[in-house]
Structure 1
C-alpha cells in the first residue's frame, strides 16, 4: 500500500492547494469534461466500446504490475505499447473516421456563441403536411411492392450525395414520390433526398454499409439506407421491392416491418426534435443579444 501513496505523492504532490487554481485551469477542466462526455456518448454506439472496456482492464493490470514490481510484464508493455497503439488505429480506422466527421458536423462554436442564423432558420424543418405525404406515398408503394429509398436530411448536410443525383428542388407530395420510384421511369433508380418540405434530388448514390451484423437477406437498398445513416444523422425510409415491407434506418440501425402509425410516430418524433433544437438556438440567441446590449449600455 505504501507504493500507492508514493506514486500519488510523486505524480500529484505538486498540487498542494486550490488557491493556485486560475481561470484558465477551470477552462481546461471544462473542455476536458466536455470532450470525455462527448467521447463516451459516441463510443457506446460503436464496436469500439468493447475495445475501451478491454483497454481499461489492461490499464488496471499494468497498474497492478507496477505496484507489485512485475518487471518482465512492465518491460513487455513498454516495448510493445507503440505497436499496440498503431494496431488499434488501423483496426478501428472506420470508427475514428466517423468520429472526426461527426466532430466536423457539430456546431461547437454556435452552441456557445449563437450567431444570428435567421437566414437558415427554417432549413431542415418539415411540416405536418410533409409527414402525411411521405407516409401516404410510402405505404401506397409498399402495397404494390415498389422499391423506394427516401433520405430525410437532418443536421448533417448531404450535399456530397445530392451532387451524385439529379436536382429537383420540388415541393414534396405523395404523387411525386410515387412517380419518381415507378418502374421504368428515369428517376426510379437510386435515392431521393428530402430537405425540409422539398425533394432536393433523385437518383442519388449512397454509401453501402459494411456492417456484418445485418441480415444477409437484405439487399443493396437496405444496405444503402443503413450506410447513409452511419455517416450522417439522416433518417432513411426503405420500401422493399421483394416483400413490400417498410423499414427505417437511423444511427446505423435498421427497424424492419413498420406499420403506417409507427412510421408516422418516427417522423413526428424527428420533427419535434428538430423544433426543440430550433427553440434552444433561439433562446441562446436572445440571451446572447441581451448580454451584448447590456455591455453596450455599460460602455
Structure 2
C-alpha cells in the first residue's frame, strides 16, 4: 500500500510545479499541442501507404518508451543512460528513413499535391486535360492505344523494359507514339509522376475468363497490369474507337471523355474507385 501511495506522491511532485506556475503550465500544454499536431499531420499525409500502420505503432511505442525512460532517468539519476540516449538516438533516424523510404516518398508526393504546393507546380488538371485530348483524338480516328498511369505501386520494371522518354505530357506526343506504323505503336505508354516515363512497354495479359470476348490483346494487357499493381489503364480500341478504363483488374468499357477526365482528376485526390464492372 505504501508503494501505491508513493507512486502518486511521486506523480504529484512532478505535476505540482506545473500546476502552481501558470505560465509553465500554459507553455507545457502548448508544446504538447505542437507535438500532437506534428504527429497528426505526418500520419494524415502517410495515410493509405503500407507503412502507415507501422508508423503509428512506432510513434505510439516511442512516446510511451520516452515517457518511461525520462521518468526513471529523473528518479534514479541515470546520467549515463541519459547521455547515451542524447548522443546515439539521432543515429537511429537514418535507419528509419531507409526503412520507410517508399512511404516517405509517397508522403512527399501527397504533400506536393496539397493546394499550397500546387501554386508552384504544374496543375494536375492540365495533365489530365492533355491525356483526355490525346485519347479523344485517338478514339475519333480509331487509333489503338494503351496508357497506364502509375499510382502507389511502382512500375519501374516495365519502364526499364520499354523505351524511356521522360518527357512532359502532351497530346501531340501521345498521338505520335500511337500513330500506326511507328515502332512504339503496339506497346503501352507509362505515365509516372505527371510525366511520360516510357513507351513501347509490354504488360502481362490477364487470364480472367470473365472478361468480355470483345477485349483484344491491348485490353487484356491493360487489365493485366492493374491486376499486379494499383495502376490505372486507359485503352482505346483500334476496331471501334471506344475508350475503356481498367482499375483493380476490372474494366469499364465505353467511357466518355468527360467520364475519363473525372476519373483522372480523382487520381490526383487519391479517390479513384476500384469497384469497376467487368
TM-score interval w.r.t. the shorter chain? 0.5 to 0.7
**Pair 1:131 & 2:118 matched:** no
- The aligned counterpart of 1:41 is none
Counterparts of 2:164 and 2:144 in 1: how far apart (Å)? 20
Counterparts of 2:141 and 2:160 in 1: how far apart (Å)? 30
- The aligned counterpart of 1:196 is 193
Equivalent of 1:253 in 240, 250, 254: 250
Distance 1:113 1:204, change over 3 A: farther
Distance 1:167 1:212, change over 3 A: same
2:226–2:249 contact (8 Å) kept in structure 1: yes
- Per-residue deviation at 1:106? 3.0
What is the TM-score normalised by the length of structure 1? 0.53
**Considering only aligned residues, what root-mean-square deviation do their CA atoms show, in Å?**
2.5
Distance 1:213 1:273, change over 3 A: same
Equivalent of 1:221 in 218, 223, 229: 218
Counterparts of 1:112 and 1:164 in 2: how far apart (Å)? 38
- Per-residue deviation at 1:111? 6.0
- The aligned counterpart of 1:122 is 109
Distance 1:269 1:229, change over 3 A: same
Distance 1:112 1:180, change over 3 A: farther
Secondary structure of residue in 1 paired with 2:270 = helix
User: Rg bigger for which structure?
Assistant: 2
- The aligned counterpart of 1:235 is 232
**Pair 1:106 & 2:50 matched:** yes
Secondary structure of residue in 1 paired with 2:161 = coil
Distance 1:197 1:113, change over 3 A: farther
Counterparts of 1:181 and 1:112 in 2: how far apart (Å)? 47
- Per-residue deviation at 1:121? 2.0
- Per-residue deviation at 1:119? 9.3
The answer for unaligned runs of 5 or more in structure 2 is 1-48, 60-95, 98-103, 114-122, 273-278
1:27-47 CA-partner distances (Å, limit 9, x unpaired): xxxxxxxxxxxxxxxxxxxxx
Secondary structure of residue in 1 paired with 2:263 = helix
- The aligned counterpart of 1:179 is 176
Counterparts of 1:199 and 1:112 in 2: how far apart (Å)? 37
The answer for unaligned runs of 5 or more in structure 1 is 1-104, 276-299
1:25-81 CA-partner distances (Å, limit 9, x unpaired): xxxxxxxxxxxxxxxxxxxxxxxxxxxxxxxxxxxxxxxxxxxxxxxxxxxxxxxxx
- Aligned residue pair count: 171
What is the TM-score normalised by the length of structure 2? 0.57
- The aligned counterpart of 1:24 is none
- Per-residue deviation at 1:205? 0.5
Counterparts of 1:250 and 1:162 in 2: how far apart (Å)? 19
Counterparts of 2:105 and 2:214 in 1: how far apart (Å)? 46
